[in-house]
Amino acid sequence: MLDSKKNDVILDVGAGTGVIANEIASICDEVFALEPNNGRVDYIKRKFPQVKAFYGVSESIPFPESYFTKIYVISAFHHFSDQNAALFEFNRVLKSNGLLVIHDSEPAKAGLEARLAKVKFISSEDLREKLEQSAFKVIETRKGNRGYFVLSSRS
């Protein structure tokens, strides 16, 4: 869904250990990994030097407006303390017509994490509504056994 190209400038939000960012960096020269865990940022820098890893949170991305061509969030949206603020930031740092891909679990299928952690899983329908309220145009939703992907673009 991200359809990465060599000249894209891509942001992985909630990058975790950087494995996905590393895969994308094999296609595209400019991949940034935003991660709120300093230990994981250090790990990404050591393990995947081609990925530009840095500490930060989704609600306050330390980049100028219209910097990225594409942003993706894989299994991390439910961790964001303020999902609306995160979407505002994505809109701010994404170029016009830039793409945003979010993957997450449906609340009913989120399992143990949904019951024990202080996280907020939302349905694909609720995410679509949040995206549209944040000036994104929803292009496609794909559902799987445990989760969903939503592809949208910045207006």
65-71 mean pLDDT: 98
According to the model, what pLDDT value does residue 115 have?
A: 66
List the domain boundaries for the chain.
9-154
User: What value does the CA radius of gyration of the chain take, rounded to a whole number of Å?
Assistant: 15
Average pLDDT, the chain: 94
Q: Does residue 53 have a pLDDT over 90? A: yes
pTM exceeds 0.85, yes or no: yes
**Which of these, 56, 103, 55, lies nearest to 78 by C-alpha position?**
103
Distance CA 50, CA 149 (A): 26
The tens digit of pLDDT for each residue in 108-127 reads 776 766 666 778 999 999 99
Checking DSSP bridges between strand 30-35 and strand 9-13, what pairing results, if any? parallel
Q: Out of 3.40.50.150, 1.10.3720.10, 3.90.226.10, 3.30.420.480, which CATH number does the structure's domain 9-154 have?
A: 3.40.50.150
